[in-house]
Amino acid sequence: MNRNLVFCLVALVLMAGGVGATQIIYQTPKQMGAESTLVVRGHVATVRSFWNDSNTKILTETIVNIDESYKGEGETTARVLQLGGVVGTVRMHVHGAPTWTRGEEVVLFLESIDAASYRVSGLSQGKFKVERDPVTGDPFISYPMMGGVEVLGAPTAGEEGGAPRSIKVPLDDFISDALGTSQQGGR
């Protein structure tokens, strides 16, 4: 085989590897707060994946028990739907989609899909894990890592408006900054 032909084939394979990457547009928590229908803190109650009615896509349904509402009223649970999941031996993976663990405490920025369902704003950008200080029990959030995606327009480290990637933010300060309000507490 011609050496140039082999080189061209290898180059094409390597270039094709980056073509399938998921690209999302960077959103600050303040942008997501303004655009979201519902902003809540809660605990993941259930996670299940299933085929859509035409058996062409796998969806994951996550039920979150709401502990506190920061935007939106009257909900005690939120049904979150997203593309992707595992049914039997079939896996449909969406890079940048949030992952869920039963029992985890989260802050979610949600957009309405219909009267009964939501999607997370900005793929996994709108899901923040709540952690607790081991001594005081005070809640804080850390910004999520965006694995497997190219985040378009994301500020670089130290740039104005950039997410503080290496620090933990007290929950009340985070909500106040995201919603542009003084945190008074929710339901």
List of E strands, the chain: 22-25, 38-51, 58-71, 77-83, 85-87, 90-92, 105-114, 117-120, 127-132, 139-142, 149-152, 168-170
Domain count for the chain: 1
12 domain residue, yes or no = no
DSSP, res 123: G
8 domain residue, yes or no = no
What CATH number did the domain enclosing 82 receive? 2.40.50
In angstroms, rounded to a whole number, what is the distance separating the alpha carbons of residues 109 and 38? Answer: 6
3 domain residue, yes or no = no
Unique residue bearing structure tokens 């704003």: 121
The angle formed by the CA atoms of residues 96, 99 and 105, to the nearest 5 degrees, is 125
pTM for the model: 0.79
Residue-by-residue pLDDT tens, the chain, 187 positions: 444 433 333 333 333 444 456 787 888 999 999 999 999 999 999 999 999 999 999 999 999 999 999 999 878 999 999 999 999 999 999 988 999 999 999 999 999 999 999 999 988 899 999 999 999 999 999 776 666 667 676 666 555 555 545 578 999 999 999 998 754 444 4
Domain span at residue 115? Answer: 21-179
79 domain residue, yes or no = yes
